[in-house]
Chain A
């Protein structure tokens, strides 16, 4: 899919006797710099990055930004009957309390929940994306480097079989049996999302293995581990980042879907649980100030990750047949 990285990253310090940490990481630095240079050419990718930066700031500074603490309720914990009748409360001027986006049916501020909810979404996206890269990238490199051996064969068969499993139903059953915790949800997502990583990275390694720089390293007696770590890994990392971003977006959407089904950690506020709550309380069609913000935020964050992923892919594969 995403073609070449351009020139392969060559560790220029190859063969030098001193092996400081800086030198060891040199190929990664070169690779990162080149990818960054390509990435900033894409308008869409930069937009995505800015949105993610903004949402990250929102998550970090949530207590400062939010107008109220999470526990705050518009009429206190025990509203009178007539007060409770005003909930959920639309955003309006002249309220005795300050709720810029209105409140939900318990009087919690929508804006406050929205700001705190960014923490869960970012955490799930980044954790699931990183974990599936940590599983998928090494397996992809090993599988591609030892292609057509039993190692490759067994990894490929496992991937093949796992692709056939119905993913969302599996996550639902697993989460239901093991208990609905954020950790289990992330694990359920990662169990499937590393597959794409492994397949694409393997393909990339297959084509890289035929390049002269890998042959040269082999000829100069580098061990398999060294070739994979110093020569192959830096060259597949940009591709790994594409899939990390896409997996993060995917994980955020899956978390929301699970919350919709009632499978989410309801002790922590998230955009998914906000939507689940509006459904349980039955205000989907009557409280748009409550319905729209969480969905828009989910779409915005997931889209930003997709923007980064696909624009990287676009930059690296500028088209035009050879």
Chain B
């Protein structure tokens, strides 16, 4: 069994590496597909040819295309994106500054979504066909269909604009460094509440749907009847014997869920002015700072690849029975 697992993981690692490579190449193509030169915004009409050539040399644009490509791929691999044409800072530094807030927001939101969705899905799947099941299923699908930013606006309107309980955006108030750590943490939690709440409201449906479907297969299994016959009460049978065996597809779904959430970060962070990578991407695009935009895009892609690989590893550890050799 271990041999199959090892081969499977190696295969997944290879796919991850190829994905990152495709991502980097895509960036290069996009960068060169843009009309004009990336440094247009830095060039003024009064500059001499020599000055322009200097700037081109600084961004490596005087080299032949294939050398530019090789250099691009090698530097991108180590997250070296050169300098932002907007702020002239190294892009890497801007990315690192933005990575933490993204993780701080999405890690708890993801956990809440998934625990909530799995629990509700367990219950609905167990009581399939009941009135509660119908209501929960309908509600879940409807919440899933609400445009996220619109829901966020409504929550902000009620809790921030009308009631004034929570701040309306950003991660911490300005000049946080002058606070003591307790105030800083409380402020952070206050700022996080509405984003996490709206993410959870929209996102619980995904794991709920999967859990509900797999619970249906478990509900009539012999070992469930057997557990009942042994005299376990219904909640114990449902959780310990039913849900535990239905969890594996939910983990698979989590791979898609993570990617979906990172995708959505561009919307979530824009609507809440959350200083993460998604917002960096959107801002960079609208200020035509293409190196920064593509770097943010690349980072989001790498995050998805890394998390997918990580989930694959966890998945393999969770259930050694699963045979990956033949692509289930």
CB <8 Å contact, B137 and A44: yes
CB <8 Å contact, A166 and B300: yes
Task: Kindly state the separation between the CA atoms of A256 and B281 in the bound complex, as whole angstroms.
Answer: 18
- Is A219 interfacial (CB 8 A cutoff)? no
CB <8 Å contact, B147 and A303: no
Q: Which residues of B contact A161 (CB under 8 A)?
A: 15, 18-19, 22
The answer, among A169, A177, A253, A256, for a CB contact under 8 Å with B296, is A169
Q: For residue A260, which residue of chain B has the nearest CB?
A: B149
CB <8 Å contact, B217 and A319: yes
A310 and B141 contact, Cβ closer than 8 Å, known pairs A172-B282, A261-B266, A321-B218: yes
Q: Which residues of A contact B16 (CB under 8 A)?
A: 164
CB <8 Å contact, B150 and A275: yes
- Is B128 interfacial (CB 8 A cutoff)? yes
Q: Which residues of B contact A262 (CB under 8 A)?
A: 286
Q: Which residues of A contact B285 (CB under 8 A)?
A: 172-173, 176
- Is A284 interfacial (CB 8 A cutoff)? yes
Task: Kindly state the separation between the CA atoms of A86 and B240 in the bound complex, as whole angstroms.
Answer: 62
CB <8 Å contact, A299 and B146: yes
Q: For residue A310, which residue of chain B has the nearest CB?
A: B141
CB <8 Å contact, B301 and A257: no
- Is A163 interfacial (CB 8 A cutoff)? yes
Q: Which of the candidate stretches B45-53, B186-194, B231-239, B256-264 sits at the interface with the other chain?
A: B256-264
- Is A167 interfacial (CB 8 A cutoff)? yes
Interface mask (A295-311 → B, CB under 8 Å = 1, otherwise 0): 10011101100110010
- Is B138 interfacial (CB 8 A cutoff)? yes
Task: Kindly state the separation between the CA atoms of A1 and B252 in the bound complex, as whole angstroms.
Answer: 12
A295 and B282 contact, Cβ closer than 8 Å, known pairs A44-B137, A319-B219: no
A261 and B267 contact, Cβ closer than 8 Å, known pairs A169-B281, A302-B145: yes
Q: Which residues of A contact B216 (CB under 8 A)?
A: 317, 319-320
Min CB gap A255→B, angstroms: 10
Task: Kindly state the separation between the CA atoms of A275 and B15 in the bound complex, as whole angstroms.
Answer: 40
Q: Which residues of B contact A164 (CB under 8 A)?
A: 15-16, 19-20, 23, 259, 301, 304-305, 308
Q: Which residues of B contact A249 (CB under 8 A)?
A: 145
CB <8 Å contact, B153 and A284: yes
Which chain A residues in 276-322 approach chain B with CB under 8 Å? 284-285, 291, 294-295, 298-300, 302-303, 306-307, 310, 317, 319-321
Which chain B residues in 245-271 approach chain A with CB under 8 Å? 259, 262-264, 266-267, 270-271
Q: Which residues of A contact B263 (CB under 8 A)?
A: 166-169
Min CB gap A120→B, angstroms: 14
A299 and B282 contact, Cβ closer than 8 Å, known pairs A161-B18, A165-B19, A317-B213: no
Size of the A side of the interface (Cβ < 8 Å), in residues, is: 46
CB <8 Å contact, A168 and B264: yes
Size of the B side of the interface (Cβ < 8 Å), in residues, is: 63
Min CB gap B28→A, angstroms: 13
CB <8 Å contact, A169 and B221: no
Q: Which residues of A contact B20 (CB under 8 A)?
A: 164
Task: Kindly state the separation between the CA atoms of A303 and B205 in the bound complex, as whole angstroms.
Answer: 12
- Is A22 interfacial (CB 8 A cutoff)? no
A298 and B150 contact, Cβ closer than 8 Å, known pairs A168-B267, A261-B282: yes
CB <8 Å contact, B15 and A160: yes
Q: Which residues of B contact A13 (CB under 8 A)?
A: none
Which chain A residues in 39-80 approach chain B with CB under 8 Å? 43-44
CB <8 Å contact, B267 and A177: no
CB <8 Å contact, A256 and B147: yes
Q: Which residues of A contact B262 (CB under 8 A)?
A: 166
Min CB gap B204→A, angstroms: 14
CB <8 Å contact, A295 and B147: yes
CB <8 Å contact, B270 and A261: yes
CB <8 Å contact, B300 and A169: yes
Which chain B residues in 138-177 approach chain A with CB under 8 Å? 138, 141-142, 144-151, 153-154, 156-157, 161-162
- Is B109 interfacial (CB 8 A cutoff)? no
Interface mask (A216-240 → B, CB under 8 Å = 1, otherwise 0): 0000000000000000000000000
Q: For residue B150, which residue of chain A has the nearest CB?
A: A295
CB <8 Å contact, B213 and A1: yes
Q: For residue A48, which residue of chain B has the nearest CB?
A: B141
Question: What are 12 pairs between A and B in contact, CB < 8 Å?
Answer: A161-B15, A161-B18, A166-B263, A168-B267, A173-B30, A173-B285, A275-B147, A284-B153, A291-B153, A306-B145, A317-B216, A320-B219
Closest 8 pairs (CB-CB, A-B): A319-B216, A164-B19, A302-B145, A295-B150, A303-B145, A166-B300, A168-B263, A285-B161
14 more A-B residue pairs beyond the given contacts A165-B19, A284-B157, A310-B141, with a C-beta to C-beta distance below 8 A = A44-B138, A164-B20, A166-B304, A167-B263, A169-B297, A172-B266, A173-B30, A249-B145, A261-B270, A291-B157, A295-B151, A303-B141, A310-B137, A321-B220
B contacts, CB < 8 Å to A: 15-16, 18-20, 22-23, 26, 30, 33-34, 128, 134, 137-138, 141-142, 144-151, 153-154, 156-157, 161-162, 209, 213, 216-221, 259, 262-264, 266-267, 270-271, 278, 281-282, 285-286, 293-294, 296-297, 300-301, 303-305, 308, 327
A contacts, CB < 8 Å to B: 1, 43-44, 156-157, 160-161, 163-170, 172-174, 176-177, 249, 253, 256-257, 260-262, 272, 275, 284-285, 291, 294-295, 298-300, 302-303, 306-307, 310, 317, 319-321
